[in-house]
Amino acid sequence: MNSLSTRIQTIIKNTPAFLKRHKYQVTACSLLLIWCYPYFFTGNRMELGDFSFFSQAYEAMRVSVTEFHQFPWFNPWVSGGVPLYGNPQMGLFSVQMLFVFIFGAPFGLKMALVFYTFAGYTSMNLLLRKYFKIGTLLAVLLSLIWVFSSFFVAHLPAHFTFVWYMLAPLYIYLALTVRGWKDGLLFGGAFAIMALSQIHNAFMHLLLICGIILVVRLAVQRASRRALLIAMAAAAAVFIVVAGHRFLFTYENVSDFPREVADVVPHPLSALLGVLLPLSHARPLQFLNYPQHPFVPHGFHEATATIGIFALTAALFACIFIAYNLYTARSKWRTTLLQYRLPLTVLAVALFCFVMALGAFLPIAPYSILKHLPVFGEMRVSTRWFIFFDLALIAFIGLMIQKAPKKSFFKFTGYSLLILGVVELMALNVGYQSNVLAHEPANAPKKIGAYTFEQTSYYGEVKKLPDGEVLRDDGNMPAPYREYDAMQYNMGILYANDALVQLALDPRRSPGHPTCPWEEGCSFVRTANAKVKSWSPNKIVLERTAPGDIRLNMNNSNYFVINGKRNGGIKVAEPFTDFTITNTDKTITILVKPSVITAVKDLK
């Protein structure tokens, strides 16, 4: 007891000195907490769209495990039933899932966003301080500008997978410094953690960028080539062991639904506007939101990636500073270029990423060439490359201010502009998440498993549940994007917001696939010759009440084993064909067992 009391007294005594010694980092953490405060005080409120999509999927994983005690292979609550663990945007073995298990999906995802915001700040701080050797205050200012940039304001909290762009500096740092098998294990482990969380845009972009860095290092660093190859082998090994299975399930899912999406070339003006115009999602400053800008094909939220007017001015001053030094030392311009070789290389990378973000404006444009690669050909929205322009530009600003002579006008101006830049970005958007997270979801009085499963087209089309309970009309019913609300009452939404299976896009709306041509046609057993004996995400037991084929209002899948038999000739989900059971047994049992597991067992 005395020992504990002594320790507490020591901590209290040393706290002022600790805070003084780390005053910049403590101040940064305080600003980050202020930035994140809406996540703590909005409860389960959500945005109807991407955030509700992620909330439903993560809640489906939580409920599958905690209520039904099953592995979350399948999501029966959206689009007639789709793979869940194989969804490239979701991650069961992830940081966010820990929070979801504790708090439920909406609030759990918000707590994960707080974690990733601090991790993103730390990630940039690590790259700037450890690799580029930039001073503490300068690194703190630039790291805050990174986290507060309009790219993250426009995409978060709605599109959850974009939090991994915040951690891009960490992966680039690892790629730049990896050497030897221990570093390789860390590097591969970092990518495995990301793959278990999501295999989406951020993963593919960082895989490409880090791969290019490693190839360049192999070509340039001949003395350490052997150590680098060992590191790469170790990274590949740990990735395959930890996350290889995730690739198998994701590949099976995505390959069954190749995306044929239009990738519109953005107007060149949109690129300039995206990096120059200030953006605000805070209510008093809505005039700085540009949702209908004519030059932005995907909406301004996809083009915006500004680090703020003051930080951009600092970048301009840095360019002028280099030009001035080259001019004043014309006779020794080669020496001057060598002196600024690293910042100029980083600036060149920033400009390349800017050109990449312009899209396929020419057949020989970098983005046009990228589209010929596997996977990248099915990705869209070139302006997402702006975040790497921001990253490189931030590093360039830091390098130039760091290299400037002490007490010089440029150094003083640079620091002043960055301080104003942090103030600018916070003033524009602090608290903006409260505006985005505006929808209060349904709060069912019973657990999900206590309700009888039924299908509906949109939440609110059916107001009287099978057990007689009547849904309260909140004025926004029926409505799309309310999959999470519907799931609280064990309702499946057929015309749901799913990236791969979208029944609402089928122009037929015919009874030949999961559909609600009229709400009475939404019965789970379409042929009225069987009743549901028991239902859970991974197991459905039907009891036949009359002869004939049984047709179900859900997608068939090669995940399903029906009375011991699997149809391996179909997709992971068959959205536009009848799910017909011809088995004449009295009891029909549908088990969810992904075919990938069967294939692996067959190989053994």
**3-state DSSP helix/strand/coil % of the chain, to nearest 5:** 55, 10, 35
Closest of 160, 341, 355, 378 to residue 263, by C-alpha: 378
* pTM strictly above 0.95: no
Residue closest to 105 by CA, chosen among 484, 445, 480: 484
Return all residues near 74 (Cβ < 8 A) that are at least 6 apart. 81, 82, 83, 84, 537, 538, 557, 559, 592
CB distance 202 to 218 below 8 Å: no
Could you tell me which of 147, 427, 145 has the C-alpha nearest to residue 311? Answer: 145
Query: What pLDDT score does 246 carry?
Result: 93
Report residue 483 as tokens.
């999959």
Please, what are the averages of pLDDT over each run of 10 residues along the chain (604 residues)?
71 73 90 97 94 96 97 94 94 97 97 98 97 96 97 94 97 96 96 96 96 95 91 96 93 83 74 83 66 61 90 95 83 80 95 92 90 86 93 97 90 96 95 92 91 88 82 84 93 85 61 58 83 95 94 92 91 86 93 74 43
Quick one: which of 442, 439, 422 has its CA closest to 490? 442
Give me the pLDDT at residue 506, please: 57
Cα separation, 148 vs 425, whole angstroms: 6
CA 18, 22, 23, 27 dihedral sign is negative
Residue 452, SS3 per DSSP: coil
Q: What angle is formed at CA 331 by the lines to CA 329 and CA 334, rounded to 5 degrees?
A: 80
Relative to beta strand 579-581, strand 530-536 is unpaired
Please give, one letter per residue, the 3-state secondary structure of 373-437: CCCHHHCCCHHHHHHHHHHHHHHHHHHHHHHCCCCCHHHHHHHHHHHHHHHHHHHHHCCHHHHHC
Task: Please give the Cα distance from 144 to 386 (Å, whole number).
Answer: 17
Question: The tokens of 555 are what?
Answer: 């997608």
Query: Are 552 and 453 contacting, i.e. CB atoms less than 8 angstroms apart?
Result: no
CB 300 within 8 A of CB 293: yes
Residue 318's pLDDT is what?
Answer: 94
